[in-house]
């Protein structure tokens, strides 16, 4: 294909949001390429392999893809503002939004959809060249890395050949990851967060009746959304992680419910995070991250009730402990772990082990050739915590890319922290699009119509 103005690598939610904003704000002639390895646009891991039992973990009122129109998704879906809509519906919404934005784009703007996997990128003569696994390359004036959540690594323990066997799956979103499990067989899910919840509900939907074991270091389950008992606005006075923790505890005692305290922090989380030193941020990640995640990223009430029923019937057992090793014996996976607070290890046997630990928490643990290529060339550099890329305020990568490479979402989490949910992603997408319009000296359609 010929040169394009902007190449967006990743056609999931992040890439779709950026494409929508570019289509809405730019004027032609301009060419946009949207590259997605799965071939399914507007889905990604969040909305692509989701099943009917998988619900959004944010009410419909908070899921508009357009920062200037908060009620857009509610009107489109005709859902109640407090409803938790199936994720498959949201994927259809993003796709419809992209189609509409393309149809209404200014004359001369083209959007090309490419099925391919970007494996490396170079910057030469003021342009970005993106090489595809399938062969060929894309040349662009600028590129946006909308990679979403990067896949995490396997647990760094002796695996006894498990990782290369048919008894193990690296993600519940792999094709067929939960297929072929005997109904009465035991299953081990590594992790106890929202990814584990999705896997357990998918197994239940398939009629699985055996015991599901969920193992994580802390054994914490995501909390459940519910009606708040009253407003609670934490007053963040002292600096540091301890001050934040004290404020949350005080607000919870005052209001009688922890949910309002966490929800009230949402608009100011970025400001609080920016005030923390790198040492304080590391202290938060080491001591409070697991507790923050289960309170901040909650289950829909229907999902929470289903998980509670599984636990009450003994079909879901949650274990807190550290994995020691894996082995294969008698056609089953054998997991040896040390329970939290105990010295002696225990054993779990399962017909299938599924890694549900979620996305990579650091660039070092990510498995993505494009990310490795950029770091190796110095076109990008890790942030101070090593969680993602170091960027400027608009999402441009700092390093040798000279303002030609941008990113958004989880790859900015080390610097922004709150960077994985739609309310934050839609704002980041608009910021990146507006910066590209300015940098490439292309007036917006709105300016052209004046």
pLDDT recorded at residue 354: 97
Mean pLDDT, to the nearest integer, of 402-419? 94
- C-alpha angle 250-251-252 in degrees, rounded to nearest 5: 90
pLDDT recorded at residue 100: 96
Q: How far is CA 32 from the centre of its chain?
A: 24
pLDDT (tens digit, 9 = 90+) per residue, 172-209?
998 899 999 999 999 999 999 999 999 999 999 999 99
Between 250 and 284, where is the model more confident?
A: 284
Residue 212, CA distances (Å) to 97, 209, 314, 379 in order: 38, 9, 9, 44
Is 80 exceeded by the pLDDT of residue 40?
no
Q: Is the dihedral of CA 110, 115, 117, 122 positive or negative?
A: negative
pLDDT band of 230, cuts 50, 70, 90: low
- Give the SS3 label for residue 136: coil
pLDDT recorded at residue 350: 98
Between 1 and 145, where is the model more confident?
A: 145
How far apart are the C-alpha atoms of 121 and 376, rounded to whole Å? 11
How far apart are the C-alpha atoms of 43 and 88, rounded to whole Å? 8
* Rg for the chain, CA atoms, rounded: 23
pLDDT recorded at residue 255: 53
Is 80 exceeded by the pLDDT of residue 256?
no
pLDDT recorded at residue 238: 52
Match 């005692």 to its residue by tokens.
Answer: 253
pLDDT recorded at residue 232: 56
Between 235 and 446, where is the model more confident?
A: 235
Is 60 exceeded by the pLDDT of residue 229?
no
Between 50 and 103, where is the model more confident?
A: 103
- Give the SS3 label for residue 237: coil
Residue 9 · residue 130 · CB < 8 Å: yes
pLDDT recorded at residue 423: 92
Is 90 exceeded by the pLDDT of residue 370?
yes
Is 90 exceeded by the pLDDT of residue 360?
no
Is 80 exceeded by the pLDDT of residue 344?
yes
pLDDT recorded at residue 444: 42
- C-alpha angle 79-81-86 in degrees, rounded to nearest 5: 50
pLDDT band of 44, cuts 50, 70, 90: confident
pLDDT recorded at residue 260: 78
Q: Of the given ranges (102-106, 244-248, 337-341, 374-378), which has the lowest mean pLDDT?
A: 244-248
Count of C-beta atoms within a 10 Å radius of residue 341: 7
How far apart are the C-alpha atoms of 300 and 298, rounded to whole Å? 7
Task: Find residue 139's DSSP bridge partners.
Answer: 129
Is 70 exceeded by the pLDDT of residue 240?
yes
Is 70 exceeded by the pLDDT of residue 252?
no
User: What is the per-residue DSSP string for 51-102?
Assistant: -TT-B-SS-GGG--S-TT-TTHHHHHHT--TT---BHHHHHHHHHHHHHHHH
pLDDT recorded at residue 329: 96
Mean pLDDT, to the nearest integer, of 247-270? 73
Between 258 and 278, where is the model more confident?
A: 278
pLDDT (tens digit, 9 = 90+) per residue, 79-95?
999 999 999 999 999 99
Mean pLDDT, to the nearest integer, of 385-400? 95
Match 């001591």 to its residue by tokens.
Answer: 287
pLDDT recorded at residue 241: 81
Residue 52 · residue 93 · CB < 8 Å: no
Q: Mean pLDDT for the chain?
A: 90
Closest CA to 158 of 388, 407, 336, 381: 336
Mean pLDDT, to the nearest integer, of 381-386? 95
pLDDT band of 425, cuts 50, 70, 90: very high
Q: Of the given ranges (43-47, 174-178, 277-281, 335-339), which has the lowest mean pLDDT?
A: 43-47
Closest CA to 206 of 315, 330, 69, 291: 315
pLDDT recorded at residue 314: 96
pLDDT recorded at residue 446: 38
pLDDT (tens digit, 9 = 90+) per residue, 109-126?
999 999 999 999 999 988
Mean pLDDT, to the nearest integer, of 399-405? 91
pLDDT recorded at residue 52: 85
Q: Verify cis geometry, omega within 30 degrees of 0, for the bond prior to 338.
A: no
Task: Phi first, then psi: give them for residue 371, nearest 5 degrees.
Answer: -60, -45
Mean pLDDT, to the nearest integer, of 392-416? 94
pLDDT recorded at residue 236: 61
How far apart are the C-alpha atoms of 449 and 245, rounded to whole Å? 50
pLDDT (tens digit, 9 = 90+) per residue, 129-142?
999 998 999 999 99
N-to-C CA span, the chain:
34
Q: Which of 44-58, 235-249, 281-295 has the highest mean pLDDT?
A: 281-295
pLDDT (tens digit, 9 = 90+) per residue, 156-172?
999 999 999 999 999 99
């Amino acid at each position: 294909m010929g040169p394009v103005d902007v190449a967006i690598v990743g056609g999931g939610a992040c890439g779709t949001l950026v494409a929508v904003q570019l289509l809405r704000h730019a004027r032609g002639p301009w060419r946009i390429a949207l590259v997605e390895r799965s071939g399914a646009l507007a889905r990604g891991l969040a909305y692509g392999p989701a099943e009917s039992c998988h619900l959004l973990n944010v009410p419909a009122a908070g899921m508009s893809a357009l920062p200037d129109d908060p009620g857009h998704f509610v009107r489109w879906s005709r859902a109640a503002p407090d409803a938790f809509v199936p994720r498959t519906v949201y994927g259809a919404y993003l796709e419809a939004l992209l189609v509409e934005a393309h149809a209404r784009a200014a004359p001369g703007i083209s959007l090309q959809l490419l099925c391919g996997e970007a494996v490396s990128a170079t910057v030469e003569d003021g342009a970005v060249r993106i090489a595809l696994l399938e062969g060929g390359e894309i040349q662009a004036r600028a590129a946006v890395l909308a990679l979403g959540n990067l896949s995490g690594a396997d647990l760094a323990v002796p695996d006894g050949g498990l990782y290369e066997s048919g008894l193990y799956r690296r993600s519940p979103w792999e094709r067929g990851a939960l297929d072929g499990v005997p109904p009465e067989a035991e299953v081990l899910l590594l992790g106890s967060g929202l990814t584990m919840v999705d896997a357990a509900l998918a197994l239940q939907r398939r009629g699985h009746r055996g015991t599901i074991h969920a193992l994580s270091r802390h054994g914490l389950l995501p909390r459940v959304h519910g009606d708040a008992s009253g407003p609670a606005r934490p007053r963040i006075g002292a600096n540091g992680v301890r001050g934040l923790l004290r404020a949350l505890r005080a607000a919870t005692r005052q209001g009688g419910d922890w949910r309002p305290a966490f929800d009230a922090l949402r608009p100011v989380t970025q400001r609080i995070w920016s005030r923390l030193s790198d040492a304080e941020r590391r202290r938060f990640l080491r001591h409070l991250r697991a507790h923050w995640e289960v309170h901040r990223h909650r289950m829909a009430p229907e999902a929470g009730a289903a998980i509670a029923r599984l636990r009450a019937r003994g079909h879901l057992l949650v274990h807190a402990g550290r994995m020691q090793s894996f082995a294969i014996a008698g056609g089953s996976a054998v997991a040896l772990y040390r329970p939290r607070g105990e010295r002696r290890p225990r054993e779990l046997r399962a017909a299938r082990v599924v890694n549900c630990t979620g996305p990579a928490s650091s660039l070092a643990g990510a498995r993505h050739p494009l990310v490795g290529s950029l770091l190796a060339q110095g076109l990008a550099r890790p942030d101070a915590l090593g969680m993602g890329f170091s960027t400027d305020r608009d999402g441009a990568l700092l390093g040798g890319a000279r303002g030609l490479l941008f990113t958004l979402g989880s790859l900015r989490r080390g610097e922004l922290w709150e960077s994985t949910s739609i309310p934050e992603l839609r704002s980041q997408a608009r910021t990146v699009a507006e910066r590209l319009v300015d940098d490439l000296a292309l007036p917006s359609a709105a300016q052209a119509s004046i």
